[in-house]
Amino acid sequence: MSKLTIERLPLSGKRVFVRADLNAPLEGGQVSDDTRLAAVIPTLRHALDAGASVVLASHLGRPKGGPDPKYSLKPVAERLAVLLQRPVPLAPDCVGPATLAQAQALEPGHVLLLENLRFHPEEEKNDDGFARQLAQLADCYVNDAFAAAHRAHASIAAITRHLQPAAAGLLMQRELAALGRILESPERPLVALLGGAKVSDKVALVEHLIGRVDALVIGGGMAFTFLRALGHSIGRSLVEPERIDTARAALEAARRRGVQLSLPVDAVVADGLDSDLGRTVGVREIPDAQMGLDIGPRTTERFAAVLKSARTIVWNGPMGVFEKRPFATGTLAMAHAVAEAPGFSVIGGGDTIAAVNMAGVADRIGYISTAGGAFLEFLEGRTLPGVEALTEAR
The residues annotated as belonging to the active site are 36, 198, 350, 373
Query: 19 in helix, strand or coil?
Result: strand
**Cα(93)–Cα(119) distance, integer angstroms:** 8
Count of C-beta atoms within a 10 Å radius of residue 247: 25
Query: 29 in helix, strand or coil?
Result: coil
Q: Which residues contact 84 (CB under 8 A, 6 or more apart)?
A: 41, 44, 45, 111
**Cα(11)–Cα(13) distance, integer angstroms:** 6
| CA proximity to 116, closest of 72, 51, 69 | 72
* DSSP 8-state class, residue 211: T
What residue type is assigned to position 31 of the chain? Answer: V
Alpha helices in the chain, H assignment, sequence order: 35-49, 74-84, 97-104, 128-135, 170-183, 203-210, 223-229, 244-257, 297-308, 329-340, 350-359, 373-379, 385-388
Largest CA distance in the chain: 70
* DSSP 8-state class, residue 115: P
List the Cα angle 101/37/371 in 5-degree steps. 115
Count of C-beta atoms within a 10 Å radius of residue 325: 9
Q: Is the separation of the CB atoms in 140 and 165 below 8 Å?
A: yes
Crossing angle (nearest 10°) for helices 35-49 and 74-84? 60
97: preceding bond cis by omega (within 30 degrees): no
* DSSP 8-state class, residue 365: S
Q: Is the separation of the CB atoms in 376 and 349 below 8 Å?
A: yes
